[in-house]
């Protein structure tokens, strides 16, 4: 039988815990899974406190009514579900898109910017219900603990933070199952699949994070980077080999870097992402296999499905190449690296991220126009772009006769631009004598 916290109060506090008198009401980030369901009775037992379970709807395919009931059945006094889909896409995903945020050149940051939004909602819920603390189910090895806690510290530093995975003695799935059974926590069939035989029968044995922007797969055979992802693991998109043998065209319209219409139809953020996910999925778009550097100092391997995001990023960058001047475009590429690091590291509410966002907002003012893309078996290809702010001028770049560019001017430009090279060559020549 699982044993609860065989440690003294002083040891507990040294690990980051708080004594019972300090915590009377806790808001828990609740997913409905085994871990967060176990956290409810653990919090009540450890702190003699009230637990408010908060579930955030970011478009993940869940039965939120069932999650609500499971939270109550697990011992929560209150269970709330917040529909944050519109805010998630328009105030977070689109902002990252404007800034060209992409961690280590591949990861579209779907979990990274979801966590600050969830953290913000947890803080708002805590303030609404007069809670003393916020708890989460992130492990001590991952990035999410940092993202949740930095958000809480930035928005309400008076709230205490309880991270059970850094405190309790549950170390394995078997421990959690035993604890759940001992505390009358409802256990579903997925939770009960513990044996190797059952694991082999389980189609999706991976740790996942799923929202309407992306789905991530980690763990199991993916922990060895030499193993290719199985085609039957894909839950959003399809394997490119199974995509149609005919390309599909999509046309996206942007206003100031924000997507506004798909194939001529005006759409809000939620409908835009949902429809692009459907289109991208049937064409095998958006599969990224990444070995990334975690903030906590280790590498991790994940396979991401991001059809809508992949299409939007490609179209957005095509429009930027058309509408931004060389210096601005190149500086934005450098700024995007730092911006992406900040988002990945959970620094959404930091002054620097907000300043870089202001830069992105300013440089996006001319990123307006229309882009057509061709989707074919996992590939995205350009099929034309236009903008009233296009800096491409056919009269300037033509190889034919024109009245706007005197080719003879190039000689003086080259002489001045190359002057440092000329001086260096003369110096080296002189020193050889």
Residues 183 and 244 in one domain: no
For residue 195, being part of any structural domain is answered with yes
- Sort 291 into a burial class: Cβ within 10 Å, 0-12 / 13-18 / 19+: exposed
Confidence of residue 394 (pLDDT cuts 50, 70, 90): confident
Confidence of residue 200 (pLDDT cuts 50, 70, 90): low
For residue 312, being part of any structural domain is answered with yes
Residue 208 to residues 43, 88, 138, 220, 419: CA-CA distances in angstroms? Answer: 25, 18, 13, 11, 57
The domain boundary residue, chosen from 168, 201, 234: 201
Residues 405 and 279 in one domain: no
Indicate if the pLDDT at residue 155 is higher than 70: yes
Of all residues in the chain, the percent with pLDDT exceeding 90 is: 81
Give the lowest-confidence range in 5-19, 20-34, 259-273: 5-19
Q: Is 207 a catalytic residue?
A: yes
Tokens of 336: 């995007």
CATH of the domain at 374: 3.90.1260.10
Residues 259 and 168 in one domain: no
Query: What per-residue confidence (pLDDT) applies to 399?
Result: 54
Query: What per-residue confidence (pLDDT) applies to 8?
Result: 46
The domain boundary residue, chosen from 146, 176, 201: 201
> Largest alpha-carbon pair distance within the chain?
91
The domain boundary residue, chosen from 171, 201, 231: 201
For residue 147, being part of any structural domain is answered with yes
Confidence of residue 433 (pLDDT cuts 50, 70, 90): confident
Residues 193 and 283 in one domain: no
For residue 268, being part of any structural domain is answered with yes
Averaged pLDDT for residues 265-278: 98
Residues 164 and 29 in one domain: yes
Q: Is 35 a catalytic residue?
A: yes
Residues 237 and 318 in one domain: yes
Q: Which residue has the higher pLDDT, 219 or 264?
A: 264
Of all residues in the chain, the percent with pLDDT exceeding 70 is: 89
Q: Which residues neighbour 9 within 8 Å (Cβ) at sequence distance 6 or greater?
A: 19
Query: What per-residue confidence (pLDDT) applies to 422?
Result: 94
For residue 335, being part of any structural domain is answered with no
Indicate if the pLDDT at residue 192 is higher than 50: no
pTM of the model: 0.90
Residues 17 and 42 in one domain: yes
Residues 136 and 281 in one domain: no
In degrees, rounded to 5, the angle at the alpha carbon of residue 162 between the alpha carbons of residues 158 and 163 is 140
Give the lowest-confidence range in 129-138, 173-182, 361-370: 173-182
Indicate if the pLDDT at residue 396 is higher than 70: no
**φ, ψ of residue 317 in degrees (nearest 5):** -70, -35
Q: Which residues neighbour 419 within 8 Å (Cβ) at sequence distance 6 or greater?
A: none
Averaged pLDDT for residues 34-58: 97
For residue 341, being part of any structural domain is answered with no
Averaged pLDDT for residues 37-60: 97
Query: What per-residue confidence (pLDDT) applies to 12?
Result: 52
Q: What is the pLDDT of residues 64-113, one digit of tens each?
A: 999 999 999 999 999 999 999 999 999 999 999 999 999 999 999 999 99
Residues 162 and 252 in one domain: no
DSSP class per residue in 201-231: H-S--SEEEE-SS-EEEESGGGGSTTSPPPG
Query: What per-residue confidence (pLDDT) applies to 360?
Result: 98
Query: What per-residue confidence (pLDDT) applies to 232?
Result: 86
For residue 347, being part of any structural domain is answered with no
Indicate if the pLDDT at residue 194 is higher than 60: no
Indicate if the pLDDT at residue 18 is higher than 80: no
Rounded Cα distance, 211 and 319, in Å: 27
CATH of the domain at 159: 3.40.50.620
The domain of 412 spans 394-432
Residues 255 and 183 in one domain: no
Alpha-helix residue ranges (DSSP H) falling in 48-105: 64-73, 85-87, 94-98
Q: What is the pLDDT of residues 334-374, one digit of tens each?
A: 999 999 999 999 999 999 999 999 999 999 999 999 999 99
Residues 104 and 190 in one domain: yes
For residue 419, being part of any structural domain is answered with yes
Q: What is the pLDDT of residues 86-95, one digit of tens each?
A: 999 999 999 9
Active-site option among 144, 209, 288, 345: 144
Q: Could you count the other beta carbons within 10 Å of the beta carbon of residue 407?
A: 7
DSSP class per residue in 346-409: T-TTSHHHHHHHHHHHHHTTT--EEEEEEEETTEEEEEEEE-TT----HHHH-SS--SS--TTH
Mean pLDDT of the chain, nearest integer: 91
Averaged pLDDT for residues 329-333: 98
Indicate if the pLDDT at residue 199 is higher than 60: no
Query: What per-residue confidence (pLDDT) applies to 193?
Result: 43
Active-site option among 31, 74, 85, 115: 115
Indicate if the pLDDT at residue 196 is higher than 80: no
Active-site option among 4, 166, 175, 207: 207
Active-site option among 35, 132, 288, 345: 35
Rounded Cα distance, 239 and 230, in Å: 9
- Sort 425 into a burial class: Cβ within 10 Å, 0-12 / 13-18 / 19+: exposed
Number of domains composing the chain: 3
Residues 382 and 401 in one domain: no
Query: What per-residue confidence (pLDDT) applies to 5?
Result: 44
């Amino acid at each position: 039988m699982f044993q609860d916290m065989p440690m003294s109060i002083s040891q507990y506090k040294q690990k980051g815990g708080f004594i019972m008198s300090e915590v009377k009401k806790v808001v828990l980030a609740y997913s409905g899974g085994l871990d967060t369901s176990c956290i409810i009775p653990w919090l009540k037992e450890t702190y003699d406190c009230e637990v408010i379970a908060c579930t955030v709807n970011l478009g993940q395919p869940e039965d939120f009514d069932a999650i609500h009931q499971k939270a109550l059945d697990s011992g929560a006094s209150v269970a709330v579900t917040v529909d944050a889909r519109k805010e998630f896409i328009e105030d977070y995903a689109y902002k990252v898109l404007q800034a060209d945020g992409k961690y280590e050149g591949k990861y579209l940051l779907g979990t990274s910017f979801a966590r600050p939004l969830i953290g913000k909602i947890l803080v708002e819920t805590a303030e609404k219900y007069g809670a003393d603390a916020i708890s989460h189910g992130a492990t001590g090895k991952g990035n999410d603990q940092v993202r949740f806690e930095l958000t809480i510290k930035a928005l309400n530093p008076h709230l205490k933070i309880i991270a059970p995975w850094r405190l309790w003695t549950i170390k394995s799935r078997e421990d959690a199952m035993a604890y759940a059974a001992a505390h009358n926590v409802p256990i579903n069939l997925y939770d009960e699949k513990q044996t190797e035989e059952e694991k082999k029968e389980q189609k999706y044995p991976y740790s996942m994070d799923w929202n309407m922007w992306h789905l991530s797969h980690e763990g199991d055979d993916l922990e060895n980077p030499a193993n290719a992802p199985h085609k039957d693991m894909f839950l959003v998109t399809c394997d490119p080999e199974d995509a149609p043998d005919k390309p599909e065209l999509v046309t996206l319209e942007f206003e100031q870097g924000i997507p506004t219409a798909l194939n001529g139809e005006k759409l809000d953020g939620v409908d835009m992402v949902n429809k692009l996910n459907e289109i991208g999925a049937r064409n095998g778009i958006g599969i990224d296999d990444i070995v990334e550097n975690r903030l906590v100092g280790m590498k991790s391997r994940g396979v991401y499905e991001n059809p809508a995001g992949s299409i939007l990023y490609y179209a957005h960058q095509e429009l930027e190449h058309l509408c931004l001047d060389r210096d601005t475009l190149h500086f934005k590429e450098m700024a995007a690296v730092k911006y992406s690091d900040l988002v990945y590291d959970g620094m959404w509410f930091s002054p620097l991220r907000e300043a870089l966002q202001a830069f992105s907002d300013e440089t996006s003012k001319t990123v307006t126009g229309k882009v057509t893309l061709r989707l074919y078996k996992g590939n995205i290809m350009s099929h034309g772009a236009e903008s009233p702010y296009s800096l491409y001028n056919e009269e300037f770049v033509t190889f034919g006769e024109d009245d706007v560019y005197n080719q003879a001017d190039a000689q003086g430009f080259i002489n001045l631009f190359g002057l440092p090279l000329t001086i260096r060559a003369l110096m080296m020549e002189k020193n050889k004598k």
